[in-house]
Amino acid sequence: MLGWALLALAAGCGGRAGDDAGAGAADGRVTISGDDSFAADLNWTPPQVVIAEGDEDAALERASQALAEGALYADADSAIPLYLALARHPAQARAATAGLRRAQAALLRAGDAALALADEDDDVVGMRTAHQVAAVARSIAAEDEAVVRYLERVDDSDRLWELNRRGEQALRDGDLGENGGGALAAFAEALALRPGQPRAMQGQAAVESALIRRAEAAGMQGDFETASQWLGHAMAIRPGFPTVPDAERRIERMRSARIARLRDEGVAALEKVNGPSLARGKLAEILRIASPGDPVANDLRQRIDQAVHYGSFRPGQVFTDALEGGARGPQMVVLPHGGFMMGALPGDPDADDNEKPRHAVRFERGFAMAVREITVGEFRRFVDATGYQSRAVRRGFSMAYDERTGNFLRRSRVDWRFDYTGRPAGDTMPVLHVSAKDAEAYADWLSAQSGRRYRLPSEAEFEYAFRAGTSERYPWGEGTPPESAGNVTGALDRSPGGRSWGNAFPDYGDGYWGPAPVASFAPNSWGVHDLAGNVSEWMADCWHANYRRAPADGSAWFNPGCRDQVIRGGSWASSPAQTRASWRALASVDTTNARIGFRVVRDL
């Protein structure tokens, strides 16, 4: 360092002004090795001053005037060169020594001012001036205590200047020193030497800014862990300053924006082939950068689960599909995916062996079920559009209720257009007198019209919807149904001719003898009407005498060419035992009567 060289020379170079060594001191040069921009300022040779014999008083006057004007050392007319020359004249030696002391004091004051300017304002001229003053002061009074202290201050300023220069170079080189050394260490050492020094503080601020820029760059790349690390380094530089908290808020906005964008990309991916897998990749990116429990991540996770289990639908959603020609299909409700125990409950006294063994069924994907049984009006639309002839139409009869005998009898010219007695049916009544093949034909027509897959329910789907998350024998639990529970046989029901049921729920009446218009009674908790009553319904399954080897995924159990299919759900004329959730029966696929209708389900 420059100041260190000055101190070393001060300890071993010339004497005080006025001594014989004064001229030798004037010849001395400070030699400095190394790269130092102030090297030229360390060498001072007093300008040559010639004072003729008899001009001593005039020279002394000129020296005093120069001192008063602050012209201390620049040329031969400056105070210090004049006093040094006068010191060689014995008659003026005392006055010259006194003047030189005053000039030295003024010189050190000028040096102090230059140092202050250099330290506070980072002024190159001030630093150069301080060095020139140091060279002059060392030449005239190297061992003087005030000069030594000044040289020490110059040394400190040199060191401060070099530390700042080193820190700035490290900053330009990208060596910030977040893990030790580098720019941060240099500026910290400078501030330890001179607390509050502006240049070093600006350097620290520049390092902080560089760290913040690195944090923001990492944030732009989605690497918020690294961004947090850079901000942590930045926070340690100037605790309490608002710059890092401001940067944290900006980066947090980046994080939030990136999370939102990834979520939108994940949602969009769900519509594509292999969409859930693509969306899970986006979710993994979100989870990498999001805080635990982030609501956006939870939203996307739920959407992925929903897409896996429900496609573009949600559990409980009610919808209709558009059909060709502007009509709408039957109203459907989305049932939740999940599992249940299918079959008769342990100890059920009314259970048949065909309801056993009780076994676990799980639906990995939700499905939609018709909210109501298919109506006469809905089936009419199908027949009108296709010219379809149902089984009862083709053979010319079906089984209808006979009030006179109280039995179901074969009646000619009764088909889907008629009610349970064989009279014309209203459009809101459940369609009767349809075979399994008729029901399947209607579902196939809906599929062609909507571009979606409609079908008859599997009996596992029916029982799952019937139970709606419960494990009771009846929808209401046990015993007599509550008021308006559904269109089931009640001891209080009466036929038009005054008949009553011989096997019915005691103390219950629903006001109907025969089917009621669809959805006349409240739906179950999943939004489906009339599963336990009104009409029994065709299932897609072939009949099997028990559940051994039954599908565990809820799909229909088919056999090639089977002639008997499953009937599920109690009707307006079913016994209490036939109204249970696990009750099942078989019927020939060509069967038509006044108790069997159907509803459809749709794949999601």
Q: DSSP per residue over 29-69, as a string?
A: -----S--TTGGGG---PPP----TT-HHHHHHHHHHHHHH
Residue 315 predicted with pLDDT over 50: yes
Q: Which residues pair with 359 in a beta bridge?
A: 342
pLDDT at site 2: 37
- Cα(142)–Cα(3) distance, integer angstroms: 13
pLDDT at site 130: 93
Tell which residue, 436, 447, 429, 390, has the closest CA to residue 413. Answer: 390
Could you give the 3-state DSSP secondary structure of residue 332?
strand
Q: DSSP per residue over 405-432, as a string?
A: TTEEEEEET--TTB-TTSSBPPTTSBP-
Residue 15 predicted with pLDDT over 50: no
For residue 226, what is the enclosing H or E element? helix 224-235
Q: DSSP per residue over 56-107, as a string?
A: HHHHHHHHHHHHHHT--SSSTTSHHHHHHHHTTSGGGHHHHHHHHHHHHHHH
**What is the value of pTM for the model shown?**
0.65
- Cα(37)–Cα(166) distance, integer angstroms: 14
pLDDT at site 271: 84
Q: How far is CA 568 from CA 26, 311, 578, in A?
A: 123, 28, 9
Q: How far is CA 411 from CA 399, 402, 438, 594, in A?
A: 6, 9, 19, 11
- Cα(598)–Cα(416) distance, integer angstroms: 12
pLDDT at site 325: 86
CATH fold label, 332-603: paralog of FGE (formylglycine-generating enzyme) (3.90.1580)
Average pLDDT, the chain: 91
Q: DSSP per residue over 144-195, as a string?
A: -HHHHHHHHHHHHHHHHHHHHHHHHHHHHTT---TTSSHHHHHHHHHHHHST
CA torsion through residues 217, 223, 224, 226, sign? negative
Strand order in the sheet with 454-455: 318-319, 332-335, 367-370, 601-603, 454-455
Residue 344 predicted with pLDDT over 90: yes
Q: How far is CA 249 from CA 204, 233, 254, in A?
A: 21, 16, 9
Contact 508, 472 (CB under 8 A): no
pLDDT at site 118: 85
| DSSP code of residue 287 | H
Tokens 């808020």 correspond to 249
The strand pair at 359-363 and 338-342 is best described as antiparallel
For residue 597, what is the enclosing H or E element? strand 596-597
pLDDT at site 5: 33
In this predicted model, what pLDDT tens digit does every residue of 151-178 receive, in sequence order? Answer: 999 999 999 999 999 999 999 999 999 9
Phi, psi dihedral angles at 334 (to 5 degrees): -85, 120
Task: Pick 416 or 311 by higher pLDDT.
Answer: 416
Domain residue extents for the chain: 2-168, 173-241, 253-310, 332-603
- Cα(369)–Cα(339) distance, integer angstroms: 16
Q: Calculate what percentage of the chain has a pLDDT beyond 70.
A: 93
pLDDT at site 9: 33
CB atoms within 10 A of CB 106: 16
Contact 534, 486 (CB under 8 A): yes
Whole-angstrom distance between the N-terminal and C-terminal Cα of the chain? 81
Contact 60, 99 (CB under 8 A): yes
pLDDT at site 27: 31
Tell which residue, 115, 186, 128, 185, has the closest CA to residue 156. Answer: 115
pLDDT at site 18: 35
Q: Which residues, other chains included, contact 550 with Cβ-Cβ below 8 Å and sequence gap of 6+?
A: 342, 359, 460, 544, 557
| DSSP code of residue 481 | P
pLDDT at site 124: 87
Query: What is the Cβ-side half-sphere exposure of residue 367, based on CA atoms within 13 angstroms?
Result: 25
